[in-house]
Each structure stands twice: as C-alpha cells, then as structure tokens.
C-alpha cells in the first residue's frame, strides 16, 4: 500500500473539481482492503469519471490491481476475469484484440473495470449485464470477499444492487465476463448502422467507429471538465408518453421494458437549455446530456446547476430526470 498526504485530487476527477484529501491510499493487492477502516468520509475512487465531489474526503482509496486473465476458452466462448483497478477501455481493447465479442460497443467509456457493473454501463444497445457472469466484491461491513452472480446483481437501466442495497458497502475487486468467440455484432444504433452495410467488417472496425463517433460527439474532459452523460434517459409510462406526443409530435422515443424511453438530451434541448451557461457551469453546446465545467466550478456549483436543469425540465414536461453521476 502506498499513502500520500494532503493530495490534490483535481486531476483525478474528470469534472476537474478542485479538491484535496487528507490521505490518498493506493492499494496494490486486494488483501490490503482487509485492514482498512472505511468511514463515510472515505471516497472509493475509480476513474473519477462519474462523480461530483461536493465534500472534502478524509481518505481516498484507489485500487491499483489491474490484471486481465483468460480463465477459459472453448470453441464458443471465452471467460475473461479482470481486476477492478484496471481501465475499462484497456479491457475492451484486450477483448477486441483477441476477437472476444460482446463489449466492443462499450469502447472508449472512461472509468475503471470495477466501476462498470455499478451503474451497468451501456452504449449503442449493449450493457455490461449482457456479458457479465459474476462480480467479486469486498464487503466493507463483514470485511470479507464475496462473489455475486449476474442474476443477483439486480441490473437495470444504468443501475444495479451496488447503487441500491450495497451502496457504500461493496468495493468491486474483479469481474468475470463470458464473451463470444464467433462474431456477434450489434449495429442497431443509427451511428453504427453504416458498418452493417459493408460486405466485411471486423470487431476492430466496430471499436474504431465507436471511438470515432464518441470523439466527435463528446467533449475531451482534459480540455472541458465533464462526466459524459450527466443524466439517465427518461422512462415514462404509455399514458404520459401519449400526452407528450399530443403536444410535441416530433418527440423521439424508444420502446423500453419499463415503458417508453425519451432521450433526456431532447428534453433539455427542448426546454431551451442547449448551450445554456450559468457562472462556470453549462450544458454542452454540442450535446445536451452533458454538463460542463468551463473552469473553476466547485462541486456545489455543478450540483446547483444540475438541479436548475432538472427543475426546468420538470416545469416544461412534468418529468423528473435523474442524474447518472454520483455525488460525494
């Protein structure tokens, strides 16, 4: 374990919120978690790409173990185990290089492997739950390592048991994925449809296309602090959707298991907030789902701005949009 005192964590959160912590712990091995005392002022930091830091943490814990192992390979599938401290996109790259199909649409999502199942990361019609077998986590209360199977993770749209019953109680130390060794492209989203019209495309072509599109649409957090999608898309019931459709015939929508999904970016834009700026914070002018820090914004300033956006959307549509990001 390595400890740094009074560490500046401004560059360790993609919003670029200026903050310090008293003690910063790097854990090199998962056993080091056993002797650590966790309290409610301890922040478990992944890639810092899905968090607004409002309160100064006493302690910050960062996992440094990051190995990737092919546990089993058959003619049909590969079982891959990845440790929680690794970069998510390094894992995607590894799987693409080995022709293991299933997570290529999840390319270039910032953050760590350990953070991925917590919010059931998703993009371009794929969610991690589709290929995840199990999650190994450290149970903070019982100080023991446990394995939870996919079916018990209560995965849903950008959520899981780790955001509910196990919130602040579990640290994901590894995940195990079951991936296909034969091609299984998922090109249903408009941004990827072009590829399906080609005679030939590889898993690497899909990854490259996802990376290319994301590079164009999303701001680089090193230049403009942000957390990617700040809000979840709205899911409304059919009655509410019909009401909205009467008033806004052009409203975009997608069928969803829990009702009808409406892109929150459209709600924000239609409420007149695309590119809207207040102080140091604003809605990105090229993508309304993204809140940006124009420089120097505090966690509270970002939080207050986001609440203003939520209230504006509620006033316009009667829909309560939910944050995708976490607050510490």
Please give the positions annotated as active site.
158, 229, 324
Per the CB < 8 A criterion, the answer to whether 128 and 121 are in contact is: yes
Site string for ligand NAP, 262-281 (x = CB under 6 A): -x-x----------------
Q: Is 193 in the site for ligand NAP (CB under 6 A)?
A: no
Residues contacting residue 279 through CB under 8 Å, at least 6 positions apart: 297, 301, 305
Q: Tell me how far, at minimum, the Cβ of 85 lies from ligand NAP, in Å.
A: 20
Torsion region of 100: left, alpha or beta (phi above 0 gives left; psi -120 to 50 gives alpha): beta
Q: Is 258 in the site for ligand NAP (CB under 6 A)?
A: no
Q: Which residue stretch of 92-100, 121-129, 132-140, 268-276 sits at the interface with ligand NAP (rule: CB under 6 A)?
A: 121-129
Torsion region of 107: left, alpha or beta (phi above 0 gives left; psi -120 to 50 gives alpha): beta
CB closer to ligand NAP out of 145 and 189: 189
Of 217, 245, 277, 286, the one binding ligand NAP by CB under 6 A: 217
Residue 293 to residue 115: CA distance in whole angstroms: 22
Q: Is 165 in the site for ligand NAP (CB under 6 A)?
A: no
Q: Which residue stretch of 67-75, 89-97, 122-130, 137-145 sits at the interface with ligand NAP (rule: CB under 6 A)?
A: 122-130
Q: Is 228 in the site for ligand NAP (CB under 6 A)?
A: yes
Q: How many residues bind ligand NAP (CB under 6 A)?
A: 18
Kindly write down the DSSP assignment for every residue of 138-204, as one continuous string.
Answer: EETTTTEEEEEEGGGS--BTTB-GGGTTTTTTEEEEEEEEEEESS------SHHHHHHHTSS---HH
CB closer to ligand NAP out of 134 and 229: 229
Measured CA to CA in angstroms, residue 9 lies from 46, 59, 113 at distances of 12, 11, 20
- Judged by the rule CB under 6 A, the positions of this chain that interact with ligand NAP are 122-125, 188-191, 217-218, 228-229, 233, 254, 261, 263, 265, 289
């Amino acid at each position: 374990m390595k400890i740094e005192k009074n560490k500046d964590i401004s560059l360790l959160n993609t919003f670029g919120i200026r903050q310090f912590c008293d003690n910063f712990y790097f854990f090199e091995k998962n056993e080091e978690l056993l002797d650590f005392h966790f309290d409610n002022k301890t922040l478990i930091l992944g890639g810092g790409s899905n968090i607004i830091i409002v309160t100064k943490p006493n302690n910050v814990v960062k996992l440094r173990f990051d190995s990737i192992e092919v546990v089993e390979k058959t003619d049909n599938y590969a079982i891959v185990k990845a440790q929680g401290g690794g970069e998510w996109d390094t894992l995607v790259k590894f799987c693409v290089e080995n022709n293991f199909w299933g997570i290529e649409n999840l390319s270039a999502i910032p953050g760590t492997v350990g953070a991925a199942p917590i919010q059931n990361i998703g993009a371009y019609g794929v969610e991690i739950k589709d290929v995840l077998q199990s999650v190994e986590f450290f149970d903070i209360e019982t100080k023991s390592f446990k394995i939870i199977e996919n079916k018990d993770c209560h995965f849903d749209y950008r959520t899981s048991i780790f955001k509910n019953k196990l919130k602040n109680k579990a640290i994901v130390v590894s995940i195990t994925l079951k991936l296909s060794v034969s091609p299984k492209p998922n090109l249903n989203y408009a941004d990827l449809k072009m590829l399906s019209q080609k005679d030939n495309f590889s898993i690497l072509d899909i990854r490259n296309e996802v990376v290319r599109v994301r590079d164009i649409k999303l701001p680089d957090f090193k230049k403009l602090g942000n957390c990617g999608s700040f809000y979840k898309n709205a899911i409304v019931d059919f009655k509410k959707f019909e009401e909205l459709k009467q008033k806004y015939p052009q409203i975009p929508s997608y069928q969803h298991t829990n009702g009808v999904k409406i892109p929150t970016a459209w709600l924000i834009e239609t409420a007149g907030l695309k590119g809207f700026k207040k102080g140091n914070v604003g809605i990105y002018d090229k993508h309304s789902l993204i809140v940006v820090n124009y420089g120097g914004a505090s966690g509270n300033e970002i939080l207050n701005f986001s609440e203003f956006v939520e209230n504006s959307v509620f006033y316009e549509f009667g829909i309560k949009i939910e944050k995708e990001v976490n607050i510490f």
